[in-house]
Amino acid sequence: MLIGASLKMYFSHARTREWVSGVEELLDAHPARDAVTAFVLPQYPSIPASIAHGGRLLVGAQDVAAEDRGPFTGEVSAEVLAELGCRFVEVGHAERRRLFGDTEEVIAAKVRAALRHGLIPIVCVGEAERVDADDAAQVCIRQVRSALEAADAADVGGEIVIAYEPVWAIGAPEPADPAHIRGVCGRLRTQFGSGARGAKVIYGGSAGPGLLSGIAESVDGLFLGRFAHDPAAVRDILDEVDALTR
């Protein structure tokens, strides 16, 4: 199971370090530690300290530039993220699309840049409005194909993670219905889970403790947000993984 958390811009640097330390301790002691690959996406300045912790918790970034270097004030390149030791980079989150104007073309360029430098892009997809699982899956399939277009055209290889996050569920009191998640993620795994990319499919969108046991047959893990701000919630999810893998 791939279990990760984006801390967005909620934590100070000090709290990020405390959270990383707490989750590392949980991973080291938990019986499910060998059944999960865990990662965190902190704010850019906290990435080096999170990597320096050097434990089971892998580190990534919440965004990446489409270019490797040049006059792009405020951007951070995949080349530098890889140099620091990042393993993952999030691309195409609904907030990046809505607030910062990331178009499908920009997202595809960022995915290509990440893959070019050996990073694993976490490609965020999801429908804007509530629709049935079949229609939602079609929206997500189109978004994934678009995100991979530049990398495929340039024959840039590498694995990806698909994070299914229905936009209407982001920040909601509870996640999408488990049956809906199974329907969409099952289709995404069938479509992209085999072949050269061998994509893993994880669910985000108000994901938290208690969800995994109801969708485990159709996902490869969870992408956590605010419901993982307390490391105890991460422990609860590890308990679920342990129960599922016994």
At which residue do the structure tokens 């046991």 appear?
213
From the list 30, 93, 117, 180, the catalytic residue is: 93
What are the residues whose beta carbons fall under 8 Å from the beta carbon of 192, sequence distance 6 or more? Answer: 144, 160, 162, 199, 201
Q: Who contacts 147 (Cβ-Cβ below 8 Å, separation ≥6)?
A: 91, 92, 104, 107, 108, 111, 121, 123, 125
93 catalytic, yes or no?
A: yes
How many helices (H) and strands (E) are present in the chain, helices listed first? 9, 8
37-41 and 161-164 beta bridge pairing: unpaired
Q: Calculate ∠ Cα 10-12-14, nearest 5°.
A: 140
Among the listed residues 117, 165, 180, 240, the single catalytic one is 165
Catalytic residue list contains 165: yes
Please state, in angstroms and rounded to a whole number, the distance separating the CA atoms of residues 140 and 164: 8
Give, as one character, the DSSP assignment of residue 193.
Answer: S
Q: Please list the active-site residues.
A: 93, 165
